[in-house]
Amino acid sequence: MVERSHKPAAISAPSAQAETGSVIADAEKVTLTLPTGESVEILLYGATIISWKAKGAENLWLSSAAKLDGTKAVRGGIPLVFPVFGTSTDATVAALPQHGFARVSKWEILGKTSDSATSVQVDLGLSPQNVPEHLREKWRFPFGLIYTVTLSQNNLETKMLVRNEGNDTIKFHILFHTYFQVPDATKVAVTGLNGVTYKDKVQGGATITEANTNVTITGETDRVYAQVPGEVIIESDGKPMYKVVRTDLDDVVVWNPWKEAASKIGDFRPEDGWKAMLCVEAGSVTEWQTLEGGSVWEGGQVLSLL
């Protein structure tokens, strides 16, 4: 079991007149709600955030065919990538499936760590005993993950603490695979990437320097931007929608499958759902994070509505 040095409070049912944020949990899901109506839903399977409602709207895209029963990784929301991004030939992770095991493991609720009228926070934990045995055998390092989700009126913060509980140095990738809901992907632009070098997976892994101030989606897009210097903003029809601010996460992935690739993804529905989503993913994936025995790493993102 994962433990904090300062243990969070137990989750209790809110009163009918609650003036602070509430956390309601059952065996499958945790829901955070503010008195002003904002909410977040987190599946314990994969600790996947499947809904973020604020300003009267849903801000995350979730496939209508997404499996929410723990049979496969969730398509949409904010899946967690750890300890490998994609697949790798590195001996320590080569046997793991794409994107590792965090998104396909059952996490435990550690408790509510803070609440007020304007924000509420919860911690979830993952340790080796929570990982399916067939995957645990493929990555035998002792570790602990603590995932902190904080909801406020216009922001959603997701933060991960990685603890190496063994003696050997471990290395890992980590990424928040955020699917943003957008009105029309053909009319969105991403700013903050100009001058940044990226690997274009659609062009066979070609290394390119971004020459555009506004990165638009005109076809299948799958780019890994390395060492992004500052905040990233998603605009729709020239109007800012979302801001992504990262802490100790140097890289940003921009992904949209477009029509042809979306039609080949079995759980991507509706087939034209690509028009309503854009993945802008904060992570550390172009280089390995290394962590000595007994050490801790922490990084995260804050998503803001604009």
Which range of 12-21, 109-118, 232-241 scores highest in mean pLDDT? It is 232-241
CB of 254 closer than 8 Å to CB of 219: no
Tokens of 262: 């979306």
Residue 173 annotated among the catalytic residues of the structure:
no
pLDDT at residue 114 is higher than 80: no
Instruction: Note if 177 is an active site residue.
Output: yes
For residue 16, is pLDDT > 70?
Answer: no
| Position 136 confidence tier, pLDDT thresholds 50, 70, 90 | very high
Amino acid at 208: I
Show the beta-strand stretches assigned E in 168-238: 170-176, 179-181, 188-191, 197-200, 206-209, 215-216, 221-225, 232-236
Q: How far apart are CA 173 and CA 27, in angstroms?
A: 29
% of the chain surpassing 90 pLDDT? 91
| Mean per-residue pLDDT of the chain | 94
Quickly state the pLDDT bin for 75 (edges 50, 70, 90).
Answer: very high
Output the pLDDT for position 15. 45
List 38, 41, 235, 281, catalytic entry: 281
Exposure on the CB side of residue 45, measured as CA atoms within 13 A: 14
pLDDT in the model for residue 112: 84
Reported pTM: 0.94
Q: From the candidates 157, 173, 177, 210, give the one annotated as an active-site residue.
A: 177
The enclosing H or E element of 134 equals helix 133-136
Residues of the chain with pLDDT > 70: what percent? 94
pLDDT at residue 10 tops 60: no
